[in-house]
Amino acid sequence: MKIAMWSGPRNLSTAMMYAFGNRSDCAVVDEPFYAAYLAKTGLDHPMSAEILRSQHQDPQVVASALSGDNPDGKPVFYQKHMTQHMIDGVPREWMKDAKNVFLLRHPARVIASYAAKRENPTLEDIGFPQQLALLKKVRDWGRDVVIVDSHDIRENPEDALRKLCNDIGLDYDPAMLSWPKGGHKDDGVWAKHWYGAVWNSTGFAGAEGPLPEVPDNLQPVLDAALPIYEEMKSQKR
């Protein structure tokens, strides 16, 4: 089984990778198209040079690896993907052979968290329109999609993970509820910039509090992202 988990940044995506990575039957990969995305766009991200050196920059090579044999002979291959990396020229056909899961988070929380690490994010930076486009493409192929909201995972991790596993046809494993402190061996090189909080964790944080205030200069980003989030959330089972 291959699981393609699609989210924008700051969406609980790393904690989800750690949850699946703590299963004995599961291999994981962390944002495999990141270097290809930077190479094609020329964007200046934190640690760009290190990222470009750490991964294949040819997206076709990456796609072939994702659709090939699972790493280490594991029966499950969990792939953590960022929707904003799927620009023109990045293959999508390989997705037909994966269980495609779409991980949502309220855009106010995403914007506040992202802006603390990289200033002035755009709508494209946080990946909402790309996430909806990918969801529609998978549906157009006649494939099932699974939608999960990070709010539900934080509120009740066991129930949410049991439901997710059931929806993708995978036995639930209670090992998913915790992981060793200090990161995962398959973290991308960018982890030291972005993953501080989850490195210090051993499980999912508790339920989220009130929505954060979004600064005035980022309100247009929130206004554009919110209806996209609501559209996807409305399709959650």
* Mean pLDDT over the full length of the chain: 95
Q: What percent of the chain has pLDDT over 90?
A: 86
Residues 6+ apart with CB under 8 A from 216: none
Please report the pLDDT score of residue 119 as a whole number: 74
Cα separations in angstroms, 203 against 6, 18, 86, 178, 199: 21, 9, 29, 4, 10
Q: What is the pLDDT of residues 202-228, one digit of tens each?
A: 999 998 899 999 999 999 999 999 999
Q: What is the pLDDT of residues 16-55, one digit of tens each?
A: 999 999 999 999 999 999 999 999 999 999 899 999 999 9
Pairing relationship of beta strands 76-82 and 99-104 according to DSSP bridges: unpaired
For 218, the 3-state DSSP assignment is: helix
Please report the pLDDT score of residue 123 as a whole number: 94
Please report the pLDDT score of residue 230 as a whole number: 97
Q: What is the pLDDT of residues 81-114, one digit of tens each?
A: 999 999 999 999 999 999 999 999 999 999 988 8
Residue 33: which CATH number? Answer: 3.40.50.300
- Rounded to whole angstroms, the Cα distance separating 52 from 147 reads 31
Other C-beta atoms lying within 10 Å of the C-beta of residue 230? 12
Residue 118 has pLDDT above 80, yes or no: no
Domain that holds residue 217: 2-233
Furthest-apart CA atoms within the chain: distance in Å: 50
Domains in the chain: how many in total?
A: 1
pLDDT band for 116, please (50, 70, 90 cuts): confident
Rg, C-alpha atoms of the chain:
17
